[in-house]
Amino acid sequence: MNRERSRNLYDRALSVLPGGVNSPVRAVRPYPFFVKRGDGAHVIDADGNRYLDYAMGYGPLLLGHDLPQPVQSAIQSRLSDGPMYGAPTEVEVELAEFVARHVPSVEMVRFVNSGTEATVSAVRLARGYTDRDKIVVMQGGYHGAQESTLVQGESGRPAEPSSGGIPAAFARETIPVPFNDEEALRDAFEEHGEDVACVLAEPILGNHGVVHPVEGYLETLREVTDEHGSLLVFDEVITGFRVGGLQCAQGKFGVTPDLTTFGKIVGGGFPIGAVGGRAEIVEQFAPTGPVFQAGTFSGHPVTMTAGLETLRFAAENDVYDHVDDLGERLRRGLTDIVADRAPEYTVAGTDSIFKVIFTREGPSDREGHCEAGCTQDANCPRFDYCPKSGADVDRAETERWERLFRPAMLDQGVFLTANQFEAQFVSYAHTEEDVEATLEAYKEAL
Ligand SMILES: Cc1ncc(COP(=O)(O)O)c(C=O)c1O
C-alpha cells in the first residue's frame, strides 16, 4: 500500500504539532495515515487507500461517516442560521429532554464540550455536593486528560500522578482500586469512606482492552457508595447510547448511578460532553448552586442538533438492532477463529463493541465458552483466564497486538484502533459483507 502522501504530511506535521498529532493515540508507528474523507463504513486516506473503519472516530460515529439525510439536512440548516450565539436555543432543551427521557439516572443535564470536561465537572460537582475531597477510580480506567484521574498507584492507597504537570497533592486525593475487585473496594472504603466524594467508574472498561463487569460488581459499587454517603458516577462517555441502546449501559445492567458523564455519540460526531443526574445534585452547578461550571461553546447549537438528530434517528430506525447484530456476528466469528488459531486469546465486547485481547493463557477445555465475547460468565471455562481488571490486560501481548497484528490488518484494508487497549466500534453503515471480509482479514493476520 502506498502511503507516500501521508508520510509527507506527517513529516510536515512533526514540525508544527507535538508528535505530529493533536491527540497522542493517533501517533501510530511509524506514522499514521492522514484521512481525506469518510464514506459510509470506510475512510479514504490522502493517498486514496480505502479502509474499513472500526475506530469510528474512537466511538462517536454511531451512524458511520455518511450521516442519514434528515440528520445531515438538520445540521446544515442549523449552520446556515449562524454557528452560535452565547444565548440559549430550543435545541439544547430538546436534547436535554431526550436524554432525561431515556437514561434512568438523568433528570437534568449540563452540556459541556468534551468527555474530559464532563468528568472534570462531575468530580467537582460530587466534591461540592458531598463536601468531601477524595475520589475512587478504577486502575486502568480512562476519564480523559484530567488532573484527578491521570493517576497511578497501589490499590486502595492515595495515588501518584501518571502524567507530568500534575501536583502530587492533587493525585493524593484519588484512590485507585482494581476493576471487578469487590474486596479492594470495600477495603478502600473501610479506610477512607468518610472522605470519599464519589466512585468514578466506567460500567465496562472501554479504554483498557474492554473488560466486562463480573456479576454483581456494579451493584456492589452502588451499595458501597450508598452505605458511605458517597456518589456513584458512571462514566458513560464510551458506553452512552452505545451499550444498552438509548437507556445506556446503566439501563442494560440495571444499576442507576447518581451522576452520569456522556460524550462521543451524544454529540453526533461534534465536540461534546455532558453531566446528567438527579436534579438536586445537578442544580448544585452555577447558576443555581455554588459549584462553578461554564463554557463559551457549551450547548453549541450545531452540536446539539447533530446529537439530537442522531439519537432521534436511532430511536426511529433499526440502528441498535443493526449494530448490535453485526457486533455479535463479529464476536462469534472471532471466537471461532481464535479457538482455531490462538486459543489463549480472549474475545471481548458487547453490543456494538469488540476487541481481541492477546491474553497469554487459556483453558485446555474449549467447550462451553461465552460465544459472542467475554461476559464474565462464571461457568465459562475461560472465566479464570479472561481479564478482570486493567492490570490483567496489561499482562497481555500488547506489543504483538500493536506492532505486528494491527499493521497486518491495516495492510488488508481494516482500520482498527491504535493499540490493545482501545475499544472498536461497529456503525450503522457496516454491512454483513463487511463483517465477513473483516473475519477473513483476522484469519489471515492472527
Ligand atoms: C470513558 C471515557 N471518559 C472520558 C473520555 C474523555 O473524552 P474526550 O476525549 O472527549 O475528552 C474518554 C475518551 O475516550 C473516555 O473513553
Q: Is the beta carbon of 427 within 6 A of some atom in ligand 1? A: no
Of the pLDDT bands very low, low, confident and very high (cuts 50, 70, 90), residue 173 is very high
Q: Which atom of ligand 1 is nearest to the CA of 114?
A: 10
Q: State pLDDT tens for residues 385-414.
A: 999 999 999 999 999 999 999 999 999 999
Is the bond leading into 60 cis (omega within 30 degrees of zero)?
no
**Probe target for ligand 1 pocket from 26, 113, 179, 207, with the most ligand atoms within 8 Å of CB:** 207
Share of the chain above pLDDT 90, in %: 98
Say what the pLDDT of residue 368 is. Answer: 81
CATH topology match: 4-66+319-445 vs 69-316: no
Query: Catalytic residue at 142?
Result: yes
Instruction: Pick the residue whose CA is nearest to atom 7 on ligand 1.
Output: 115
Per-residue pLDDT tens over the stretch 342-384: 999 999 999 999 999 999 999 877 778 889 999 999 999 999 9
144 lines ligand 1 (CB under 6 A): yes
| pLDDT tens, residue by residue, 203-226 | 999 999 899 999 999 999 999 999
Question: Does 264 participate in catalysis according to the annotation?
Answer: yes
Q: Just give the CATH number of 69-316.
A: 3.40.640.10
d(CA 332, CA 39): 26
Q: With bands split at pLDDT 50, 70 and 90, how would you rate the model's confidence at 2?
A: very high
Q: What number is the average pLDDT over the span 27-51?
A: 98
233, three cell numbers: 458516577
Q: What is the pLDDT of residue 120?
A: 98
pLDDT band at 244 (very low <50, low <70, confident <90, very high): very high
Residue with the nearest Cα to atom 8 of ligand 1?
Answer: 115
Looking at residues 280-302, what average pLDDT do you find? 98
Gap from CA of 228 to ligand 1 centroid (Å):
27
Which of 194-198, 243-247, 365-369, 426-430 shows the lowest per-residue confidence on average (mean pLDDT)? 365-369
The predicted structure's pLDDT at residue 364: 79
* Averaged pLDDT score across all residues of the chain: 97
**Ligand 1, pocket-test mutation among 202, 260, 264, most atoms within 8 A of CB:** 264
pLDDT band at 260 (very low <50, low <70, confident <90, very high): very high
- Report the greatest alpha carbon distance in the chain: 63
**In the structure, what pLDDT confidence band is assigned to residue 181 with cuts at 50, 70 and 90?**
very high
Percent of the chain with pLDDT over 70: 100
**What is the pTM for the complete model shown?**
0.98
235 catalytic residue (yes or no): yes
What pLDDT is recorded for position 150?
A: 97
Collect all residues with Cβ–Cβ distance below 8 Å to 140 and sequence separation of at least 6.
179, 205, 207, 208, 389, 390, 391, 393, 394
Over the stretch 75-102, which tens digit does the pLDDT of each residue have?
Answer: 999 999 999 999 999 999 999 999 999 9
The predicted model gives 327-354 an average pLDDT of 96
Which three cell numbers, joined as nine digits, stand for 30?
Answer: 511509524
Pocket flag, ligand 1, residue 113 (CB < 6 Å)? no
pLDDT attached to residue 369: 85
The pLDDT-based confidence of 332 (bands split at 50, 70, 90) is: very high
Of 240-244, 378-382, 415-419, minimum mean pLDDT range: 378-382
**Catalytic-role residue among 45, 53, 181, 235:** 235
- Distance between alpha carbon 77 and the CA centroid of its chain, in Å? 30
Q: Where in the chain are the domains?
A: 4-66+319-445, 69-316
Q: Position 321: which residue type?
A: D
116 lines ligand 1 (CB under 6 A): yes
Architecture per CATH, domain 4-66+319-445, reads as Alpha-Beta Complex (3.90)
Q: Which one-letter DSSP state was computed for residue 291? A: B
**Is the CB of 327 inside a 6 Å radius of any atom of ligand 1?**
no
Residue of 264, 269, 268, 243 lying closest to 255 (CA atoms)? 243
Distance 269 CA to ligand 1 centre (A): 13
**How far, in Å, from the CA of 202 to the mean position of ligand 1?**
10
Residue of 10, 51, 54, 142 marked active site: 142
Which pLDDT value is given to residue 367?
79
Residue 433 alpha carbon to ligand 1 centre in Å: 31
The closest residue, in CA terms, to atom 5 on ligand 1 is 144
DSSP string, 118-135: HHHHHHHHHHHHHT--EE
Per-residue pLDDT tens for 426-440?
999 999 999 999 999
pLDDT of residue 405: 98
The residue-averaged pLDDT of 420-430 equals 98
Please say whether the beta carbons of 185 and 177 come within 8 A.
yes
